[in-house]
Structure 1
């Protein structure tokens, strides 16, 4: 690792649809002296931004070219179709790609799904961005299939969405330059994976002191000395006859000089 040098800040890239708010909040609680800077990038830009040193780590959508990059898959999103609220699809709970065969399905240039065969009929022109495609859906030009987080990001009151059962899924991962796994990157990996603040973060923790050996406890006597059982001699002549055995003779008192 190259974590011996602590940078004055941590730069985190993220693609549309990913909301890093929770992780940023935990970072600020644990490392208040290291400001975290968010950098919004497109899904296509993210790998090159990381390779070029524009960010220390970033949330990306898989698949990406993993050359020189490490990546930890975090979660998989449901794929949905965005439709006008009065569209026939809005009346069902789920559709298949085949159900969209007669509709124009928009495929923006920044599409993040890895289709083998794109569903529906193609539009005359591909929209430049997902945001542009959403506007076209609202205008009744066609439908749009996207990861659910993007449908939420571009939510409109006149649109809704439904899951597409057999569409490709989008996986979100945390990625960073392979040769730049710094201590701060390890810190952020720990936060994303839910490690506690006392976790070793994958690094060798300091040797813990050996646990103290428990002291042997003496038999509990209740804080009092053992007394002989009634009727038994201890081998010592008591000074008075109250506790002595029957028949024991008292010694003669000494004369005072």
Structure 2
């Protein structure tokens, strides 16, 4: 339950990015503050974070980072999704050259950081979503390259995937407004960065060692140095 007067911590995330582990840790450390999850496309998550409707978002790069923090969390493996009887399935992994003669679908919600030249041949038209592209792969229209997490999300028994060793990879980041962090925001940053509940959020100050006292003899205060032989006492 949310404590009296405590607003929930609202976290947006995109398809395939599962914050379940972090949400579980949040409930253990912040039981008095509800964590609300909001699934949406990347552009929508970023816009709502920037407007303050969401406290933070888990999205894939690239994004417009104007006015936002963004810390990378992990890099996803890129795979190609093909029909189960496709020749690509004969090996444990594939390369972009293996797709040169294939129709490679390019959904409009694709976020892989492709260079100007994409692999394979383009379809007559681009499917609107990744889910639509998966249906086309199952119908034998073409192949689909995407992050592994999305391939697992859209798993079908008649399709398989193989890692693409030389394909671009997507990076998942935590993004939040470029402003003074709230206590809840600091807590969530600590969770995704792997800090323990007892670890400090701020670096320890460097302590200046106390000056050493002169050593004393067992019978009295420390003696001054013995004058050199031949020196006159004053």
TM-score w.r.t. length of structure 2: 0.82
Match of 2:215 in 1: none
Please report how far the alpha carbon of residue 28 of structure 1 lies from its aligned counterpart in structure 2 after TM superposition: 0.6
CA distance in 2, matches of 1:91, 1:77: 23
SS at match of 1:45: helix
| Counterparts of residues 1-257 of structure 1 (less than 5 Å) | 7-116=6-115, 117-202=117-202
Residue by residue over 1:119-138, the C-alpha shift from the partner in whole angstroms, topping out at 9 and shown as x without a partner, is 11100110000011001101
Q: How much does 1:25 deviate?
A: 0.6
What is the DSSP-based 3-state SS (H/G/I as helix, E as strand, rest coil) of the residue aligned with 1:109? coil
Structure number with larger C-alpha Rg: 1
Unaligned 5+ residue runs, structure 2? 206-234
Runs of 4+ displaced beyond 4 Å: none
CA distance in 1, matches of 2:202, 2:69: 15
The CA distance in 2 between the partners of 1:175 and 1:188, in whole Å, is 11
- TM-score of the superposition, structure 1-length normalised? 0.75
Deviations 1:178-214 (A, max 9, x none): 1152111110011111111112223779xxxxxxxxx
Where 2:42 maps in the other structure, the secondary structure is: coil
SS of corresponding position for 1:162: strand
Instruction: Give aligned pairs, total.
Output: 201
Unaligned runs of 5+ in 1: 1-5, 206-257
The alignment partner of 1:48 has SS state of: helix
